[in-house]
């Protein structure tokens, strides 16, 4: 099948809508102790079926630690995070976290909801040019067993202008 035949078979008149909800709540227990509670919901509503490249990419440092970056593809997901932070100074902390995700990993008309979890610990510290974050996490899903050999180290950096 050539490219023209593949393109002609696509439904290019499909309507789509994107729904997103992001909630973060920080519960300050004392000067050095804080809990972060986070809920992120996103969904693609489509008049037809979705193809793989239209799905959300989930996993890794930004949303579901303990998995490779973009390990999962999902048309609908709910990700919740519970994180404890012990502050070393104003912008530096040590943390413990649990990320839980309910993902609809369906393509076409079949629905397959999965539960996935990542947990771990890490540190964020402030430098003159930005914040550096190092997290170690273990993840568990139907495709990945809970094992130290499957642990992931996530690096993050936010620079200041």
pTM: 0.85
Collapsing DSSP to helix, strand or coil, 6 comes out as helix
Number of domains in the chain: 1
Q: Over its length of 161 residues, how does the chain's per-residue pLDDT go in tens digits?
A: 666 665 666 666 778 899 999 999 999 999 999 999 999 999 998 887 788 888 999 999 999 999 999 999 999 999 999 999 999 999 999 999 999 999 997 766 667 889 999 999 999 999 988 999 999 999 999 888 888 989 999 999 998 77
Read off the CATH number of the domain in which 115 is found.
Answer: 2.40.160.50
Query: Could you list the residue range(s) of the whole structural domain that residue 46 is in?
Result: 3-159
Which helix (H) or strand (E) element contains residue 3? helix 3-8
Distance, in Å, from the CA atom of 86 to the CA atom of 74, rounded to the nearest integer, reads 33
Distance, in Å, from the CA atom of 97 to the CA atom of 105, rounded to the nearest integer, reads 24
């Amino acid at each position: 099948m050539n490219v023209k035949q593949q393109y002609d078979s696509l439904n290019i008149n499909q309507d789509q809508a994107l729904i997103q909800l992001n909630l973060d709540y920080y519960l300050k227990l004392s000067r050095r102790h804080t809990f972060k509670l986070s809920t992120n919901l996103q969904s693609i509503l489509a008049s037809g079926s979705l193809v793989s490249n239209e799905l959300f990419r989930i996993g890794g440092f930004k949303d579901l630690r303990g998995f490779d970056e973009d390990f999962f593809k999902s048309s609908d997901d709910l990700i919740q995070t519970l994180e404890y932070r012990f502050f070393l100074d104003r912008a530096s902390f040590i943390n413990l976290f649990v990320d839980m995700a309910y993902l609809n990993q369906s393509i076409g008309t079949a629905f397959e909801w999965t539960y996935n979890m990542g947990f771990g610990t890490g540190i964020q510290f402030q430098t003159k040019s930005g914040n550096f974050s190092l997290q170690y996490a273990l993840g568990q899903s139907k495709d990945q067993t809970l094992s130290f050999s499957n642990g992931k180290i996530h690096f993050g950096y936010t620079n200041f202008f």
